[in-house]
Amino acid sequence: MRIPVRLPSLNALRSFEAAARHETLQAAADELHVTHGAVSRQIRQLEDELGEELFIRRARANVLNDRGRALAAKLHDVFQDLAQALEDFHRDGIIPPLSISCEPTLCLKMLIPALGDLKRDTGLDVKVFAAGGPIDFEKDRIDLAIRREDFRVDRDLHIYPLCDEATGPVVTPMLVADGKADSLFRSAQLHTMTRPDAWKQWLSLSGLKRTRAPKLTFEHFYLALQAAQAGQGAALVSVFMAAGDIEAGLLVAPRRFARDGTRYVCLSSANIAQDDRKRAFCTWLAERMNRTLEKFVDRETVSRP
């Protein structure tokens, strides 16, 4: 009877096979488009999972031991068979969609409305997942993650810069129907738990004093935006979350959007530049976001008195 074996991480197996084939960690890292340290950690993880060492570690080089050499030979054949199977599969013209992870409100307000343009402009098909913060690409099976770079990014990930972030207040047109931008400050401030200091930061960037306006707090930006449309006050949001509603006449921006010193990026566990589909998506999205930034930053949609 065959005893079932729990398979180790695929990344760990790939790192070990490449290191064994090249006989150096650096060459393996170059092939896999990761760092020397990442390969070393993956091999250590594999050895921990297998319960034995695969290399004889020396001062100047690591040499495969007999058990490691036997495993490497079998893995080499396995990965060749896997590569051939995928090549045969793609030869039939079936290309899997890109899996995209995007922060929830950005996904709802910016990415989803643009999917038709993405297909028309690039021919790409995508699967979209709403999530924020750090991501486990292997576990979540994600190709690209769109994130605001406000957390420590794993040094092993590849980063494609998209666009500077810019924030500003938006309200329903009725709240500034008198044409005065300062009507904004008579409205309640709509805050989010996602970025609790957004109002304070924007007021500072805009050279304005803090006001005594009433405050309402929501868990997510899309809730604050909905409250703003319902006339509950002014939501302090990203320009990329509000641009569509402004263009549709649902919201106005009485004061300018201001760059806050952060940026949006696409993250990937593999080199984006060497993947045609990832590169096409990132290039398309960066161009689109920068057009939005150019259109709305420093623009006032309601004149001051």
pLDDT: which is higher, 103 or 58: 103
Question: Could you tell me if 144 and 300 are in contact, meaning their C-beta atoms sit under 8 angstroms apart?
Answer: no
Least confident of 28-37, 131-140, 172-181: 172-181
Question: Could you tell me if 225 and 200 are in contact, meaning their C-beta atoms sit under 8 angstroms apart?
Answer: no
pLDDT, averaged across the chain? 88
Task: Map out the domains of the chain with their CATH numbers.
Answer: 10-91 (1.10.10.10), 98-161+265-271 (3.40.190.10), 165-262 (3.40.190.10)
Confidence label for 303 from pLDDT (cuts 50, 70 and 90): very low
Q: Is the pLDDT of residue 39 over 80?
A: yes
Confidence label for 181 from pLDDT (cuts 50, 70 and 90): low
Question: Could you tell me if 252 and 176 are in contact, meaning their C-beta atoms sit under 8 angstroms apart?
Answer: yes
Mean pLDDT of 255-264: 93
Would the pTM of this model clear 0.85, i.e. be above it? no
Q: Is the pLDDT of residue 37 over 70?
A: yes
Give the tokens for residue 210: 């803090």
Question: Could you tell me if 132 and 104 are in contact, meaning their C-beta atoms sit under 8 angstroms apart?
Answer: yes
Give the tokens for residue 11: 């990344």
pLDDT at 61: 76
Give the separation between CA 78 and CA 233, rounded to whole angstroms.
60
Give the separation between CA 292 and CA 93, rounded to whole angstroms.
35
The tokens 């030979």 sit on which residue?
Answer: 73
DSSP 150-163: -SPPPTTSEEEEEE
Q: Which of 42-46, 68-72, 108-112, 149-153 holds the top average pLDDT?
A: 108-112
Indicate the residue type of 281: F
pLDDT at 95: 74
Give the tokens for residue 33: 């488009």
Percent of the chain with pLDDT over 70: 91
